[in-house]
Chains A and B, each alone.
Chain A
């Protein structure tokens, strides 16, 4: 499961993961989705980009 918060700055990134995953699967550009979700810092953005849901 995705960590609740960004490992570097502590922002709660997990709350946006479901929406991020769904919108990217539907073909939206992940840059645009991250901007929409208000994740500005690269530490938070990599949390969503790099996460692989294994279970």
Chain B
């Protein structure tokens, strides 16, 4: 199996994987989205809420705030011996404010300085003159299969690696494919009077080119054993870590089968 990283930053990881099949790549995708645990706010206790937003609606907004997660610091509630939450299986945040003011995710005060919201600029609630708000929010570990707020990924998807074949005997270099392609995959080289594929990996295999070609000179296929995989993180982990956690979980599952046998 060959893996090549195409692009990597703190938000996104794009790589190609060759010599794998759909079952493996899709298993990784599914585990990365719904089984890698992250922190999200699960319980909110309101001391005071004069704002025009209902407690439930604000609690829901709080739940969707992504939180930088460290699996070494917090343990899942199921593995903890407490009943609801305690300092081992949760992180507490407090939010307090008096209007006129908008409270942002950056106003959430964490009980653990290392664990805080990924972004500080998420508007949570607006307070008008004289309105006050005070609450405690408890973040716990969970997985995307329980609730989407625990998904560590936003866009996490793969596609087959595209393969474009142009039959040069049929192609008349009319340039229609270059004009029609919504992803700018082709370019008409007017000097050479030839169609060039300039951005193969951007091809979405929509087949607009092959349908529009007056001479049926283009074939677009997806390679069976090569994929382009993209993981975009919500910030709770770096994307590479999500992938490596997903691989760990997959091998754990495989071990369970072996034990069973």
Contacts and interface: CB of A to CB of B under 8 A. Distances in A.
B75 interface: no
B126 A10 contact: no
Interface string B149-180: 00100110000000000000000000000000
Interface in A1-30: 1-2, 4-6, 9-12, 14-19
A18 B121 CA distance: 8
Interface centre among A2, A5, A10, A18, by most chain B C-beta atoms within 10 angstroms, is A10
Given A4-B64, A10-B148, A55-B52, A15 B122 contact: yes
Interface in B123-154: 123, 125-126, 148, 151, 154
A12 B149 CA distance: 11
Nearest to A13: B122
Interface residues of B, number: 23
B257 to A, nearest CB: 31
B64 A5 contact: yes
Interface of B: 11, 52-53, 61, 64-66, 105, 118-123, 125-126, 148, 151, 154-155, 232, 234-235
Interface residues of A, number: 18
A31 interface: no
Contacts of A1: 53, 61, 123, 125-126
Given A12-B66, A12-B118, A18 B123 contact: yes
A10 B121 contact: no
Given A11-B232, A11-B234, A4 B122 contact: yes
Contacts of A4: 61, 64-65, 122
Interface of A: 1-2, 4-6, 9-12, 14-19, 38, 41, 55
7 contacts: A9-B154, A10-B155, A11-B234, A14-B122, A14-B123, A15-B122, A18-B121
A53 to B, nearest CB: 9
Given A5-B64, A55-B52, A11 B123 contact: no
A10 B154 contact: yes
A15 B64 contact: no
A11 B123 CA distance: 15
A26 B178 CA distance: 37
A47 to B, nearest CB: 12
B122 A10 contact: no
A15 B122 CA distance: 4
Given A1-B53, A55-B52, A55-B126, 9 more contacts: A1-B61, A4-B61, A11-B155, A12-B64, A12-B118, A12-B119, A12-B235, A15-B119, A16-B121
